[in-house]
Structure 1
Amino acid sequence: MLKIGDFSELSRISIRMLRHYDEIGLLVPKSIDSFTGYRYYSEEQLSVANRITELKNMGFSLSTIREILKSYDDSQTLAEYLLVKRAEVQAEAEEISRRLLLLDTAIQRLRKEETAMNYNVTIKALPERYVASVRQVIPAYDHEGMLWDIMMRETAGMNMQIADPSYGMAIFHDEGHKESDVDVEIQMSVKGSYENTHHVVFKRVPAVEFASAILKGSYD
């Protein structure tokens, strides 16, 4: 038999915690001296103590550990407990990853804040233009390239002449930012006159004033 102090050293569980385990019925001493009140544990209970510590390190609550210990030798039941806990931990890990991404994004934004604050915004004017235009709803803003691919493919045999200056641009027709299904139109100034294709529309657009800002740096 082992005194509580010796059992504490061998199991690496504090005396205070052993007493708490006793109170909640998780790890009850093998015997208690009726005269002194000393708690005594058997050597066999060290394996139970190790199981408790292992399960606790996995994130199980003490109340759940108490239930697991009742059927610890049933491998199928134990596996079910472990699989459920694994799913919980996986969900927590994904949430932590999401928060880390938000934090990293915020940090990067702060680091770029000085550059962002140095935008020089000027008012410029575009003259009236004759343009080749493709407008579609695309999955996201970074899919704009698919519109340019359509324009190049459908005008490949037209001998279309690009104006000088060319004024290639993208126009976002939605009100505000959207996460998906964005209404985007691309335009390229051209010389001459051409027939519309399946997706490419040739049209004259009026002169317009716009706010212009130049950002020097990478696309990141």
Structure 2
Amino acid sequence: MLRIGDFSKLSKVTIKALRYYEKEGLLIPKHVDVFNGYRYYESNQLLDVARIISLKQIGLSIDEIKKIIIDNESLEKILKSRKKELEKTIFKYSNQLSRLNYLLEEKDMKEEIFEKIVPAYYVYYKEGVLKDYSEASMFILESGQECMELNPNIKCIEPDYCYVNYLDGEYKDKNIKIRYSQAVIKADKPFNENNNIKFMDIPETKCICIYHKGSYDTLGKSYAKIMKYIEDNKLEIKDYPRECYIDGIWNKDNVEEWLTEIQVPIK
């Protein structure tokens, strides 16, 4: 058997960390000398500590590692959960990087079209009919308030992801069908629904995107550019376009500073 110091050298793990793993029940010495407290490990435990380190390196917490090693919880289930977390983190920072590049190039900026994968989300949504587009902001606000009243403990994901779909088959300036969706953290128990507020999973989606700067009145120009790109590249639209309002009347006084991301799902 190996004394703790030798085991530390071979495993490249500090004695302090080995004692912590022992305390957490992850790696128990095969023998502890009752007289001097020396800890001894068997050589095959080097594989156990290597597994712990591998799981730590992919970002799993000690509690998650314990579920795998002590409770025999499905490794695949936990790894898939971690994969989703990483994908959302990548999406968060790629989104921030896109916006940063957008701002850096703002002085000499042309609206650039780009493709990205929007990860799967669990959303609440509400559909309705607007008399005209001036009612959209109030519809969104009331949707959130209604959902919170039904589910006081609900939490939106971070970074925030919400969008609007316009559901008519053509442009309309009156009696406009709308759906507002907001991504939330899925709970163990189903959330409460009513005739207005519903929940659903939306799958991972490949989207062609463009940032639109300025008034919503000129969104048509950005849609024209993105649709031309889709046609030129012989792409096929999969679902209703999503309008993600990043900056608007709620945080920018100058309409020229409003920022909208249009996302068009494709096959």
What TM-score, normalized to structure 2?
Answer: 0.41
Larger RCO (alpha carbons 8 Å, 6+ apart): 1
Instruction: Decide which structure has the larger Cα Rg and report it.
Output: 1
